[in-house]
Structure 1
Amino acid sequence: MVNHQETVGDSILFSRVSLQGDCCGKQGLLSMIIDYYSHTEYRPTREQIERDRFVFFGLIRCQPWMVIPAGILIQFCYGSVYAWSIFNSPINRLVAANPDEPNKGSAEITFYIALGVLGLTGAIFGPWIETNHPRKSGIIGLVVFFSGHLTSALAVYMRMISLLYFGYGLVAGIGLGIGYVSTIDAVSKWWPRARGTASGCAVMGFGGGSLAFSAINKWLIDNTNLPLTFLILGSINFAVMLISVQFICPPPPGHNPDGVVVVDEGDETTAATTTRHAFGRDGADAEKGRRPRALAALPSAAQRQTLSVSLAEALQSRDYWLLYMAFLANIVFCLVVISNLPRLIDGLFGMGARNPRQPPLPAYIAVSIEGAFNMFGRVLVGVMSDLLGRKTVFLLLLAAQIVVLVFVPIAIHAGSFWGFLGLVWAATICYGGGFGMIPAFLSDMFGINNTSSCHGIILTAWSIASIAGGLAFTGIVNNFLAHGAHAYDERIYAVNFAWMLAVVLIGFVCCLFVRASIRDRMFPALPNQILRLRVFGRVFRVLGVRAGRSGASAEEPCADSSRQRCRLRTRFAEFEYLTKAEEQAAWEEYLTLRAVQHRLMTEHAAG
């Protein structure tokens, strides 16, 4: 396979002009992996498209709204994994001859394994999920998830903790990873103009499951036994998901843009090009001495001018990994707090406090309310991202957590129980909101065909944050306690919140440098450019002063921001804030150069 490559900045954008070459026979492991991560497009047959017009075993005509309640119910069942803490004490008492030694705490490892496998599964199976029917991957996910519950029932019956790690941690974790990614991305594809809202609604089900199954698991354990609890729980989940997945199907061809749309944000026109379609027209304009036209936004998604980006190309972009770091930073604080909130409440404001007392609100109620804020944040932030833009909202989430982490130690020092809980609940909205909007963010940046794959890989940040963050928090606490500190010692939490604050600050900076627009990623840097950012929809850049241009500083005031450029020149650098008109002129000049370059290379290949 021969690919024509065009390198722009640090992104490599491919225009496939020939599909035959001398590497077709070299199918080594590396080439197979590259090929697997380079083709992530679902290509249904005409017969499959006709079958997808009806759902629920072909009895009901498919309607776009149906996928949202179906997705919520499926995610609700998968969310039962977050209620695992209810099983810890009963399992530890069952498998250990002495409930305190030596196996105390061994059941908790199951939860960490499941989350770690979830992220790894999403990263491995993401391309396969994208290239197959979502109902197929959904059914496989729920069957594997159910098998994990059956294996877990056998494990607790035989009192084998290693079999429990395999059954619920590995097997159920694989099913969870496949089902989580396939469901959310299938739902979001039906709503190209409201992806944040759609994915937020679907992920809301996951938060609801974590809230509801805490009570369900407790009731089953109290009224049956552990093996039967896993059997009943797995059977309920299997039945609900098997019915719900029958309403999951892909949208018809042309429902979504075939690639990433190149949009002039804040304008009513779409200045777009594509390596597969638009260069011919732009080249003709260039040949006649005209600039490419600003193309009016077309009503049909299938007709909008786009740029095709493969998964392999997306993963070569620094913007993906900057977003990865921002996502990890957004979830690390609440992942630690979710698993330790009862401990924090008891040690700081309850019976373990300096002055032992009953806290104003029982810990289990505080955890339930936190789950409600988690659910609410997933939908709220998804809607906000559709209205205000993904990057803007993500920066707001990280900024809010910075404020929380600054004031939480102050609330602890002041002994303010409600201040502490209020800050934690506010951060929980940000935590849930990150999960709600990240599928839409990835779809906007790298195309709908890469959503499952990019989403699956970025979920490994979930695994890293939960495991590494939890171990770091616990390690610091245990170190202080081993040196004579008490659970109410403020230093323990000051140190923990300090490293979390550093992580969130790094994530904020990373998000600031994410080029969320395909135009920003394509636009070539000037030879002396040091930095370029988009601030309030306009380009801000810093240029190094060339030799011979240094001197007294000069400033051009910005009286009318819509018509005049802001420029500040110092001895070492120039600072420019471009107007929309200046940016558009430079963009059209760049498109002309790309069109001419493409025509010359095509003529050279033909000759």
Structure 2
Amino acid sequence: MKVTKNRWLIALSAIAIHISIGAAYAYSVYKKPLVETAGWSETDVTLSFTIMMALAGMSAAIFGKFVERQGPRKSALLAAVLFGLGQVGSGFAVSIDSSKLFLLTYGLLSGLGLGIGYISPVSTLVKWFPDRRGLATGMAVLGFGSGALATAPVAATLIVSVGIPSTFYILGACYITLMVLGASYIAPPKDGWMPDGMKKAIASGQKVIIKDLRQLTSKEAVKTKHFWMLWSMMLINTSAGIMMISVASPMAQDVVGLSAAAAATMVGIMGIFNGGGRLGWAAASDYIGRHNIFLIFFIIQIIAFATLPLTTNVLLFQLLIFLVVSCYGGGFSNLPAFIGDLFGTKQLGAIHGYLLTTWSLGGIIGPLLVSKIQGATGSYIPVFYVFLGMITLAFFISIMLRADIKKYRNQEQQKQAIA
């Protein structure tokens, strides 16, 4: 008799994978030592991280179907090998003073591993938590957001004590170990599996199952307007969040006169809101619905971007930035569960991969827009108005999506009633 796995250990396995690849966000710890100790140009050092981030979203899209075909275990193992070798290889590149090899190891290999590792456990988690989809994916994505928090102080200490190459070797070995351990336990449940508590609640009438809107393949999903509406919402939400993260410190110093030290503290607190938003908003979505959560995101950000250019209050300015960043994190954690609601779990990993192209594009659009606008005007104020317009567009798209979901459900109910 086959023993059913513990779904909370499945969640822990997913978190182990996501914490490892989330260490990528601690890259800033390496930048100064690489420039000053290795003597590499700042352009080459920055380019490695840019390649990694661009590949993360793109590889999630390219390898989405691979993840569905091979399953979460093999996919996560491949991610462990690619990401781990990328990190260990980065140490070797530094030891032989090859910035070009560093682009291939940290940029290419780690970027591919990051994208595959990000989507590998998510569709499995959604299947193990039919009663708490948002919470489950929120936990994993919180792990990703917390990776830098765990890695940055350790990496900084190791760089001083053992040097840059050995730091990459040690941490790379740790990432491989954690990811392999996570991959070895993770596996999908039987079709239609439900936890006992959910079965009892349904049997007693305490809980009514709201079925997924439909069960579609990735090829079918991308042909629907719902896919492109969600894609547009994610692109705008991601662009706004990454824009804010990329210039928060100089923006706060320029607009409300925050000191450099206070701005640095604010950036640290932003990380807490980014991570906390991933779990908090995702858990809330299980009760009020994913489409309503996105509506709330855009209402919050409309208020924020309308208020930011008008306020001189330092605390209010920072609070609004924190809220925008929490919506950014919450968008990523709500996305997999929203995909399940709209398109089912048949090929959730592949559809998730396609939608994560917004991650790569948002990483280009957000920082590019703010740098161009600020460079042309010498002020961050026009930036707020541009993003206010973009977020308002996303708000109207989310209203249309919400209405269309309701209309689709009503039509399906009418068809069933006639049948």
TM-score by length of 2: 0.90
Cα-to-partner distance string for 1:505-540 (whole Å, 9 max, x where unaligned):
221122222258767347xxxxxxxxxxxxxxxxxx
Q: How many angstroms does 1:131 deviate by?
A: 2.3
Match of 2:395 among 502, 505, 508: 508
Q: Corresponding residue for 1:110? A: 48
Residues 427 and 588 of structure 1: CA distance in aligned 2, closer, same or farther (over 3 Å)? closer
**Amino acid paired to 1:384:** A
1:376 paired to 2:276 = yes
Report SS of the residue matched to 2:308: helix
Residues 519 and 179 of structure 1: CA distance in aligned 2, closer, same or farther (over 3 Å)? same
Report SS of the residue matched to 2:398: helix
Q: Tell whether the 8 Å contact from 2:305 to 2:388 is kept in structure 1 after alignment.
A: yes
Q: How many angstroms does 1:224 deviate by?
A: 2.3
1:409 paired to 2:309 = yes
Q: Corresponding residue for 1:362? A: 262
Residues 299 and 501 of structure 1: CA distance in aligned 2, closer, same or farther (over 3 Å)? closer
Report SS of the residue matched to 1:410: coil
Cα-to-partner distance string for 1:119-148 (whole Å, 9 max, x where unaligned):
111111111211222111111111110111
Largest Rg, 1 or 2: 1
Q: Tell whether the 8 Å contact from 1:96 to 1:104 is kept in structure 2 after alignment.
A: no
Q: Tell whether the 8 Å contact from 1:95 to 1:161 is kept in structure 2 after alignment.
A: no
Report SS of the residue matched to 1:155: helix
Q: Corresponding residue for 1:553? A: none
Q: Corresponding residue for 1:448? A: 345
Q: Tell whether the 8 Å contact from 1:92 to 1:106 is kept in structure 2 after alignment.
A: no
Distance in 2 (alpha carbons) for counterparts of 1:218 and 1:337? 25
Match of 1:428 among 325, 329, 341: 325
Q: Corresponding residue for 1:206? A: 144
Q: How does 1:226-375 map to 2 (within 5 A)?
A: 226-255=164-193, 307-348=214-255, 358=259, 362-375=262-275
Q: Tell whether the 8 Å contact from 1:70 to 1:247 is kept in structure 2 after alignment.
A: yes
Q: Tell whether the 8 Å contact from 1:187 to 1:198 is kept in structure 2 after alignment.
A: yes
Q: How many angstroms does 1:591 deviate by?
A: 4.5
Q: Tell whether the 8 Å contact from 1:319 to 1:515 is kept in structure 2 after alignment.
A: no
**Amino acid paired to 2:180:** L
Match of 2:74 among 136, 142, 162: 136
TM-score by length of 1: 0.63
Residues 95 and 395 of structure 1: CA distance in aligned 2, closer, same or farther (over 3 Å)? same
Distance in 2 (alpha carbons) for counterparts of 1:512 and 1:439? 20
Q: How does 1:146-165 map to 2 (within 5 A)?
A: 146-165=84-103
Distance in 2 (alpha carbons) for counterparts of 1:363 and 1:219? 23
* Structure 2: gaps spanning 5 or more residues: 195-201
Residues 519 and 429 of structure 1: CA distance in aligned 2, closer, same or farther (over 3 Å)? closer
Q: How many angstroms does 1:380 deviate by?
A: 1.1
Report SS of the residue matched to 1:106: helix
Which structure has the higher relative contact order (CA within 8 Å, separation 6+)?
2
Q: Corresponding residue for 2:198? A: none
Match of 1:197 among 135, 138, 144: 135
Q: Tell whether the 8 Å contact from 2:237 to 2:328 is kept in structure 1 after alignment.
A: yes
Distance in 2 (alpha carbons) for counterparts of 1:77 and 1:174? 14
Distance in 2 (alpha carbons) for counterparts of 1:518 and 1:81? 36
Report SS of the residue matched to 2:346: helix
Report SS of the residue matched to 1:362: helix
Distance in 1 (alpha carbons) for counterparts of 2:139 and 2:175? 19
Q: How many angstroms does 1:307 deviate by?
A: 4.7
Match of 2:315 among 400, 418, 443: 418
Residues 299 and 473 of structure 1: CA distance in aligned 2, closer, same or farther (over 3 Å)? closer
Q: Corresponding residue for 1:460? A: 357
Report SS of the residue matched to 1:251: coil
Distance in 1 (alpha carbons) for counterparts of 2:153 and 2:244? 20
Cα-to-partner distance string for 1:77-98 (whole Å, 9 max, x where unaligned):
111111112222222234547x
Q: Tell whether the 8 Å contact from 2:244 to 2:325 is kept in structure 1 after alignment.
A: no
1:90 paired to 2:28 = no
Q: Tell whether the 8 Å contact from 2:213 to 2:342 is kept in structure 1 after alignment.
A: no
Q: How many angstroms does 1:363 deviate by?
A: 3.3
Distance in 2 (alpha carbons) for counterparts of 1:464 and 1:306? 28
Q: Tell whether the 8 Å contact from 2:126 to 2:340 is kept in structure 1 after alignment.
A: no
* Structure 1: gaps spanning 5 or more residues: 1-48, 54-60, 98-102, 257-268, 270-296, 486-491, 523-582, 596-607
Q: Corresponding residue for 1:223? A: 161
Residues 136 and 403 of structure 1: CA distance in aligned 2, closer, same or farther (over 3 Å)? same
Q: Corresponding residue for 1:121? A: 59
Report SS of the residue matched to 1:105: helix
Report SS of the residue matched to 2:44: coil
Q: How large is the RMSD of aligned CA atoms in angstroms?
A: 2.8
Distance in 1 (alpha carbons) for counterparts of 2:414 and 2:181? 54
Residues 348 and 308 of structure 1: CA distance in aligned 2, closer, same or farther (over 3 Å)? closer
Higher strand share: 1
Question: More displaced, 214-223 or 229-238?
Answer: 214-223
Distance in 1 (alpha carbons) for counterparts of 2:369 and 2:362? 10
Report SS of the residue matched to 2:188: coil
